[in-house]
Amino acid sequence: METATAQTATRQLADLPAPGGLPVVGNLLALRPERLHTQLEAWQAELGSPYRLKLGPQQVYVSADPEVLQTVLRDRPERYRRVHQIERCIAEMGSNGVFSVEGDAWRPQRRLVMEALNATHFRGFLPVIEKITARLLRHWQAAAAAGTVVDMSRDLMRFTVDVTTALAFGEDPNTMDNDGDVIQNHLAEVFPRLMARINAPVAYWRHVRLPADRRFDRSLAAIHAHVDRLIAAAHERLRAAPPGRAPGNVLESMLRASEQPGSQVNDAVVHANVMTLLLAGEDTTAHTLAWTLYFLAQHPHWQEQLHLKSREALGDAALPATLEQVRALDLLESAANEAQRLRPIAPVLFFEPNQDVVLDGVALKARTPLFFVLRPAMLDAAHFASPLEYRPDRWAPGHVVGTHNSRAFLQFGAGPRVCPGRHLAGVEVRMVLAMLMRNFRIELMVDPAAVREVLAFTMMPSEMPVRLHARAQAARIPA
């Protein structure tokens, strides 16, 4: 494919096919934020790629071509950015951190977060993740013994909140054992409201607060208060620390960086990135695990394969305790990758050009919304053999299952702004799946067809009730 700078326009945006719509408003009233991805996929199947939407006076470029998306991701942040509504809405929340910030402000934040989440730190991270995984194991053992149905979405989100908070901020909130007004309940309010605001044609909430907006305001206030308390506690630890003591977590690293002469990291940047880490750490990994269990529950053969792989790596231990054990569990992360291929956590990505460009032969004005639909390419036999089958082994290094185009799998992005937390997410996925597959069989307690896809910034299952059946083999559980 030609580079964006070398392409010659062969079409205008208005030349692309578009779904039928109403006069003046076009397709605007047809869009439903919670199922936007399936609407875009259906129009792509009908119209091909690319096509356009008409949202009132605004026209939108929509593509399902992974190579076109690779071009956009490679040319960020200079030529392309996320649609400006994302940064605007997140900035209004007071959390314009490394995920959403654009322009010159992005680079110092990126350096800060990348260093804090560097894979060389994972050996030090592991005892914290092991402790929280062991707590989850005890919770699930009690549920299995009682025969109760587990709300997997709830449990997994609480697990990821605890891991993120403990690693990033040096405090374990133990939301697994604490019911009531826990921080996870407030975090769960954020993404659905954020998705609605990003897609709203008018920023009505600046003038009128609906009941959902008032709930959102209360949750956001609680999260900000929680973050302020975390920052205050980190300041106290740093003041009490002996001279030269290295920062003990992500937050302390941020605060130390903000103290350096000429630093572009101030208190507002620290607060925003604490919020970003809390939100991103809860949502994506938890939903990835939930969808993985959705498929494993339907494929007992793969449950057994992952059980054997976990026993081989762990021996008589109930969960991984060393980084070497975690690294031996490639097949478990492959199971999660395969779930994301079929049920992508990020099914749609939203960008816009910073200047006039030609993309895939289409002339586009600056700030034209660009919607990229990711799943069609991942379900295309041109990219993945037997694309509708759940086959974790297709991701195994050196294992040939036919066509496998990894460039069409963009769940962590690509280019300069590839997800900085992807390696940590992989460790969490391996830890939880190894513990679960080593110790239990899982049974989905609803018809799989009843589990709907709900888009709330990331794509989550509408429900994930699971019954756990304890394995007969005894396992050694950490204290």
pLDDT in tens, 196-231: 888 777 888 988 989 989 998 999 898 888 888 888
Predicted local confidence at residue 89, as pLDDT: 85
Q: Is the dihedral of CA 41, 45, 49, 52 positive or negative?
A: negative
Give 92's pLDDT tier (boundaries 50, 70, 90).
confident
Q: Answer whether 318's CB lies under 8 Å from 370's CB.
A: no
Mean pLDDT value of segment 435-460 = 95
Between CA 43 and CA 24 the distance in angstroms is 20
> Is 89 annotated in some ligand binding site?
no
Predicted local confidence at residue 91, as pLDDT: 84
Q: How far is CA 14 from CA 22, 26, 52, in A?
A: 16, 13, 8
Identify the CA nearest to 364 among candidates 20, 19, 12: 12
Average pLDDT, the chain: 87
Q: Answer whether residue 2 is part of any domain.
A: no
Between CA 187 and CA 204 the distance in angstroms is 22
Q: How many helices (H) and strands (E) does the chain have?
A: 15, 13
Q: Answer whether residue 3 is part of any domain.
A: no
Between CA 258 and CA 273 the distance in angstroms is 13
Segment among 242-256, 331-345, 431-445, 460-474 with least mean pLDDT: 242-256
Reported residue count of the chain is: 479
Q: Answer whether residue 4 is part of any domain.
A: no
Q: How far is CA 433 from CA 137, 293, 296, in A?
A: 11, 9, 10
Segment among 54-63, 136-145, 151-160, 417-426 with least mean pLDDT: 417-426
Between CA 339 and CA 293 the distance in angstroms is 9
H or E stretch covering 21? none
The residue type found at 216 is F
**Strand-strand pairing, 51-55 and 58-63:** antiparallel
Q: Answer whether residue 123 is part of any domain.
A: yes
Between CA 152 and CA 22 the distance in angstroms is 41
H or E stretch covering 371? strand 370-373
Q: Answer whether residue 476 is part of any domain.
A: no
Between CA 312 and CA 316 the distance in angstroms is 9
pTM of the full structure = 0.88
- 159-187 pLDDT, tens per residue? 998 888 888 778 888 888 876 557 777 87
- 374-402 pLDDT, tens per residue? 999 999 999 999 999 999 999 987 766 67
Q: How far is CA 342 from CA 33, 390, 451, 470, in A?
A: 20, 8, 14, 28
Classify residue 15 by its DSSP letter.
Answer: G
Q: Answer whether residue 121 is part of any domain.
A: yes
**Number of structural domains the chain divides into:** 1
Specify the CATH number for the domain of residue 238: 1.10.630.10
Between CA 160 and CA 140 the distance in angstroms is 15
Between 429 and 257, the more confident residue is 429
Predicted local confidence at residue 33, as pLDDT: 85
Q: Is the dihedral of CA 332, 249, 133, 277 positive or negative?
A: negative
Host domain of residue 99: 11-470
Classify residue 100 by its DSSP letter.
Answer: T
Q: Answer whether residue 478 is part of any domain.
A: no
The residue type found at 62 is V
- 248-291 pLDDT, tens per residue? 777 887 787 777 776 677 777 888 888 887 777 667 899 999 99
Q: How far is CA 49 from CA 62, 68, 404, 416, in A?
A: 7, 10, 21, 25
pLDDT at 329 over 90: yes
The residues near 443 (Cβ < 8 Å, ≥ 6 apart) are: 297, 466, 467, 468, 469
Q: Answer whether residue 344 is part of any domain.
A: yes
Residue with tokens 């989440």: 117
